[in-house]
Structure 1
Amino acid sequence: MKSLKSALLYTGLAILANAAATTAHADAALEALKDGDMRKLVIASEATAAPDVTFTAQDGSQATLADYVGTPVLLNFWATWCAPCRKEMPHLSELQDAMGDQIKVLTVATGRNPPEAIDRFFAEIEVENLPKALDPKQEMARAFGVLGLPVTIILNAEGQEIARLQGDADWSSDSAKAILTAVAAGD
């Protein structure tokens, strides 16, 4: 009985060590891809489940991030009054075009952002391919600990946060595409 407990203990420890090594390898692989603006990307030491909160989808329905499980998500919190958001949004649009179905760029206007202002914002920067999701009471932003805008969070296909970037960035850069391609591949 004692040897069975020891064997189970060592097997469990080996499994945990292997998982930790795999996570460390994935973290190192993503770190190696960081260049330019992506140097601001903070890779999480452990993937953590995304908060289970609702937001308003473009069609007015209530949605959650669980609706996107199976596809990596680049979750961007922004606002119509945010100058860095205006600079960043076309890069997010280019990224979505370049990545196709490999990832989903989900833009969520947090706080007071009237639909007319959102439509005007997108028209002025000539972005047509990104969703106009809403977080009017900032419940989703608070659940993610968003303190300033823009904030972009990378969720893996399992719906876990694996990285985040505070501030605007060139998401259409080769570095961003390489990072998200690795995430989409499950690396």
Structure 2
Amino acid sequence: MRLIRLLSLYLAIALGANPALAADIATLDALRDGDMKKLNLHADPAPAPQATFTLETGGTASLADWRGKYVLVNFWATWCAPCRKEMPSLAALQAEFGGDGFEVLTLATGRNTPAGIDRFFAETGIDNLPRHADPKQALAREMAVLGLPVSVLIDPEGREIGRLIGDADWHSDSARALVAALLGRPPS
């Protein structure tokens, strides 16, 4: 049954269906398996808050700066064991899909020193994810992030379309199929 759903999705894309319509909630829901069953998809997406956070370069930004692409915002902390567990799969997802249409945006939330963030990334072997921070938890508070890790999927219009609480394998077949469907292309 899952294969039939995947084939119908890719057939629709191949025949020129609008990728945004092809990746509707029902289609995405059918692709959820394993850890992705924890991904709560929103039928009525709401605009994401626009609180600012600190860029790894020292400036500030808001989620509005990523409009025009799908963004997986991952709230994490250096002291968080589940964050350490899932970070390599987020890096693999970014390596496969990152670009003009999709990006993994990591935000170290709360008390995480720049040196501690650098050490975390070095210890986990991550070199392709941003080291942004939300030190005062302004964005995390506005997005009702109560524990870590939390990953929030934002659409190109800046609306929250999904949320996963806890760690997950973000490079699983299911996660990759979801991102591919959002981007209107078959998974590689």
Aligned ranges for residues 94-109 of structure 1 at < 5 Å? Answer: 94-101=92-99, 102-109=101-108
C-alpha distance in 2, partners of 1:104/1:142?
22
Residue among 73, 88, 91 paired with 2:89: 91
TM-score, scaled relative to structure 2: 0.84
Identify the residue that residue 177 of structure 2 maps to in structure 1. 178
TM-score, scaled relative to structure 1: 0.84
Identify the residue that residue 148 of structure 1 maps to in structure 2. 147
Deviation string 1:101-155 (CA, Å, 9 cap, x unpaired) is 1311000000000000000000000000000011000011000000000000000
SS at match of 1:107: strand
Runs of at least 5 residues in structure 2 that lack an aligned partner in the other structure = 1-19
Q: CA deviation at 1:52?
A: 1.2
Percentage of identical aligned residues:
55
Residue among 44, 50, 56 paired with 1:52: 50
2:104 alignment partner AA: V
C-alpha distance in 2, partners of 1:83/1:98?
24
1:160 alignment partner AA: R
Matched-pair contact (CA < 8 Å) for 1:75–1:154: yes
Residue among 19, 23, 27 paired with 2:25: 27
Matched-pair contact (CA < 8 Å) for 1:85–1:150: yes
Rg bigger for which structure?
Answer: 1
1:81 alignment partner AA: W
Identify the residue that residue 39 of structure 2 maps to in structure 1. 41
SS at match of 1:75: strand
2:75 alignment partner AA: F
Q: CA deviation at 1:183?
A: 1.9
C-alpha distance in 2, partners of 1:115/1:107?
13
RMSD: 1.5
Identify the residue that residue 165 of structure 1 maps to in structure 2. 164
Matched-pair contact (CA < 8 Å) for 1:71–1:184: no
Moved over 3 A (4+): none
Aligned length: 164
Q: CA deviation at 1:45?
A: 2.2
Aligned ranges for residues 66-145 of structure 1 at < 5 Å? Answer: 66-101=64-99, 102-145=101-144
